[in-house]
């Protein structure tokens, strides 16, 4: 099996013994069979299993559209909510320069339609007034309230700046193959269009054009990302507890059965903030139903150690941590020596910030473990397009297996409709 992701569960002992984990083999096999035989609930939404293979054929068309956007636009506005934009944002923030939107030589990526804030969207439109921009509207139906409002606002500005004919060339639609308001509009106006397959739900759509087009515009090597996911598809096939993906899924359920109610995904790299948000939606919508499921929470350390650290260390005994570690940063920086040494940091002079960050990670894991907080450590050798594609697929499959072990449908989200129904009643929607 590939060593792209290492799963370290040694800090779960003595809470969990190896025998307890091995005893989960029957549950793992049952969940595996539901998934691979496509006989479990929600089996009509299993197209994501094969996306690492099918996505390759779309790459040339996606890159052609991305090159067109970069050739005539200073910025791309990605309009979508939930799975329609989180995967793309996760990859862009993980793999791009942290300050790429301040770089004059790159196509800037802005996001809209992921909230209902008038201030946010008014200020975005002000920024776009002075820029050449294009739009990627991502929605299967085209009628999701947040993204539909943002599209209407951005489209109006686009048409005012460029006229109706030119504006149509700057709108790229990622939507359903045949139905829905956005598909009808795309056909009517002649937008360049990409398809989210019918058998792929939003939170599993990162390897469809919903994720890949914005990534390509941001300069990410989508071929490498797809290759990483394809390798994960091969590596993570064996239905046993030595498969790190299945082992992680089983451990989550064992800890849940032992009374844990919150899983805190923590990373020591701020570039993984949006990946954590993507993970939060993936597990929250997939498992939180029928009165069941771990609450998925996220943190970026060491930042959040100065806010959540106290609670984690000594608060209510309801959570466990999954630490996402990256062994090698893509950039290195050394700590300089200071003549005065007033901050008393000269003992670190010549050492890298990575070294300090790693010591913070190891010290945190030790402290939290000693504070009776179970820890799972997931390690990537480095953060590249290939390894991130692997990680996306790892988490998607782990989530599906975990939900089947839990006994829920991983691919529906009936509770999401409750707020919409109330909102539409208050708005007086016909």
**Which residues belong to the active site?**
285, 306, 420
Backbone φ and ψ for 144, nearest 5 degrees, come out as -65, 125
- Whether 8 and 377 have beta carbons less than 8 Å apart is answered as yes
Round to whole Å and give the CA distance between 48 and 398.
13
DSSP tag of 130: T
DSSP tag of 415: T
Q: Which of 214, 81, 209, 211 is nearest to 145 (CA)?
A: 81
Round to whole Å and give the CA distance between 286 and 65.
32
Round to whole Å and give the CA distance between 186 and 200.
20
Backbone φ and ψ for 194, nearest 5 degrees, come out as -130, 155
Round to whole Å and give the CA distance between 232 and 191.
34
Round to whole Å and give the CA distance between 403 and 398.
8
Q: Which of 351, 353, 157 is nearest to 268 (CA)?
A: 353
Cα torsion 147, 140, 427, 421 to 10°: value is: -130
């Amino acid at each position: 099996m590939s060593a792209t992701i290492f799963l370290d569960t040694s800090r779960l002992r003595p809470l969990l013994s190896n025998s307890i984990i091995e005893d989960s083999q029957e549950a793992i096999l049952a969940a595996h069979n539901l998934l691979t035989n496509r006989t479990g609930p929600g089996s009509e939404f299993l197209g994501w299993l094969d996306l690492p293979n099918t996505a390759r054929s779309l790459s040339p068309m996606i890159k052609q559209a991305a090159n067109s956007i970069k050739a005539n636009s200073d910025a791309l506005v990605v309009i979508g909510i939930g799975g329609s934009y989180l995967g793309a944002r996760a990859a862009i923030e993980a793999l791009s320069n942290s300050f790429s939107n301040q770089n004059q030589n790159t196509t800037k990526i802005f996001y809209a339609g992921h909230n209902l804030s008038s201030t946010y969207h008014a200020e975005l439109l002000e920024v776009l007034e002075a820029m050449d921009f294009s739009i990627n509207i991502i929605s299967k139906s085209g009628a999701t309230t947040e993204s539909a409002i943002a599209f209407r606002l951005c489209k109006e500005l686009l048409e005012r700046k460029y006229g109706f004919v030119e504006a149509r060339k700057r709108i790229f639609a990622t939507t359903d193959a045949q139905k829905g308001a956005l598909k009808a509009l795309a056909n009517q106006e002649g937008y360049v269009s990409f398809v989210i397959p019918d058998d792929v739900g939003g939170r599993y759509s990162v390897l469809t054009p919903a994720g890949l087009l914005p990534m390509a515009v941001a300069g990410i090597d989508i071929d490498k990302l797809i290759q990483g996911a394809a390798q994960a598809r091969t590596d993570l096939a064996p239905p046993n507890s030595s498969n790190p993906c299945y082992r992680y899924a089983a451990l989550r359920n064992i800890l849940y059965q032992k009374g844990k109610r919150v899983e805190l995904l923590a990373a020591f790299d701020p570039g993984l903030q949006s990946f954590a948000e993507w993970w939060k939606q993936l597990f929250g919508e997939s498992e939180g139903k029928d009165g069941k499921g771990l609450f998925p929470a996220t943190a970026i350390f060491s930042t959040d150690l100065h806010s959540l650290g106290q609670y984690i260390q000594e608060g209510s005994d309801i959570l466990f941590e999954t630490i996402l570690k990256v062994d090698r940063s893509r950039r290195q920086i050394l700590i300089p020596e200071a003549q005065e040494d007033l901050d008393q940091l000269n003992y670190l002079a010549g050492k890298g910030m990575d070294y300090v960050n790693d010591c913070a990670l190891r010290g945190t894991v030790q402290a939290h473990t000693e504070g009776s907080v179970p820890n799972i450590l997931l390690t990537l050798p480095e953060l590249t397009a290939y390894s991130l594609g692997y990680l996306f697929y790892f988490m998607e499959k782990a989530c599906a297996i975990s939900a089947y072990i839990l006994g829920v449908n991983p691919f529906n989200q009936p509770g999401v409709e409750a707020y919409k129904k109330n909102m539409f009643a208050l708005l007086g929607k016909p």
